[in-house]
Amino acid sequence: MAVPRNSLRAFLGQAKVNLQRAISKNEKVTLVIGNESADLDSITSSIVYAYLRSITSSAQSPATLHVPLLNIPKADINLRPELLALLPHANIEQDQLITLDDLPDLDDMKQLLLPESTRWVLVDHNALQGKLGAIYADRVVGVVDHHTDEGKVPKDTGSEPRLITTSGSCTSLVINHCREAWDRLSCGTSSTGAAQAQGDTLMEDEAVTSLWDAQVAQLALASVVIDTLNLQDEHKTTEHDERAVTYLEAKINQCAKIGGRFDRTTFFNKINDAKKDLSPLTFEEILRKDYKQWTENGLNLGTSAVVQPISFLKSKINKDSDSNDYKALLEASKKFAKERELCVFSIMTAYEAENGGFARELAVLAVDDRGFAACKKFSDSSSEKLQLDGSDAEENGEHWFHVWKQGNLSCSRKQVAPLLREAMSA
């Protein structure tokens, strides 16, 4: 079913009710889900796509309620300070977000959320992974993504898009895909319902709907500017991102309540400062914050993206000892990896260096014999491409561990993870 135009806050409430009804009464439901790392881009692209697809329609795509599902448990929302800083700009509270905790327990999921009653749209990834993937992978009906196409989504996705292309932010692709329908809604007659609901004049109603639009636009804009460093990262920024930012800023500026005082740089700095502040988190929480996992050739690969340097992680572990000692980092990383039954684990850092420039580091750990050959192959085949400059390293019968400075700054996890997976697949 379609939903009447409303605020994001009201939409999320209706979406949560719809999901619970689908579970309790075996009704059909469409879910929009980002990847397992649930970074800001995954979260905002799922919410924005679900919202716009639920309230807009075209001849090819009838409006139906889409439920945005965060691919994390509710407790892990607190590990994302940038999201917590952003939510007030969209008039959303964290308890209103829909998470994995809103699904049935895994043992009951197949019976309570019947696969044949579900449709899944993927954003910010194009292969449903993990426990959800084991149950619902063949129920995927659409995708919007900026990673390498893994060929898991059907070529014909019907009324949902199959959009996989390069961009700095997946949310940019969502906005550019939905903008025509969003504009028709803003210029059409749908605002009459809001006026009647508010009991206000048409002019006041337009003020309400422009506020709703500005709240959605800020939610989307945050991911685009974070992922492109406010369009200043030449390695990641694309035309898709520039178009999206121009469009979203226009939506914000059309709102009298917000537009007059909105400054994109100030907005970016607020969200970015929150993202970089990892001080309240433990070492394990930092690794969980932006974590992804794959299985290749029977081997499990885990990757954690961190917005502070390796030295910061060392200091987190070695609070009362030499922060340059990598041994404690090695042991803590092994513990994290073994708890997840990984063969290979990597930490990818991206941060602002002391000279004000951008920097990357890469740590790769083989936990057991099965991962040794893959890590050595990765080192041999990818060191030149990634311009890896080694510092800490240890190889023995128990583990294989290397920490490098990464000279090729254009290669983020979108490029590095496939290289690791390729080394594991042979």
Average pLDDT in the 244-251 region? 98
Residue 1 reports pLDDT greater than 80: no
Question: pLDDT digit string (tens) for 74-88?
Answer: 999 999 999 999 999
Residue 192 reports pLDDT greater than 50: no
Q: Give CA–CA dist 362/309, Å, rounded.
A: 10
Q: Which of 339, 359, 262 is nearest to 293 (CA)?
A: 339
- Greatest mean pLDDT range, 34-38, 57-61, 313-317: 34-38
Residue 388 reports pLDDT greater than 90: yes
Burial category of 378 from C-beta neighbours within 10 Å (exposed 0-12, middle 13-18, buried 19 and up): buried
Q: Give CA–CA dist 174/66, Å, rounded.
A: 14
Residue 84 structure tokens? 């917590």
Residue 204: per-residue pLDDT: 47
The band of 323, judged by pLDDT with boundaries at 50, 70 and 90, is: low
Q: Order across the sheet with 66-69: list the strands.
A: 66-69, 29-33, 118-123, 140-145, 162-164
pTM of the model: 0.88
Average model confidence (pLDDT) across the chain:
90
The band of 103, judged by pLDDT with boundaries at 50, 70 and 90, is: very high
* Domains parsed from the chain with CATH numbers: 8-270 (3.90.1640.10), 283-425 (3.10.310.20)
Q: Give CA–CA dist 169/172, Å, rounded.
A: 5
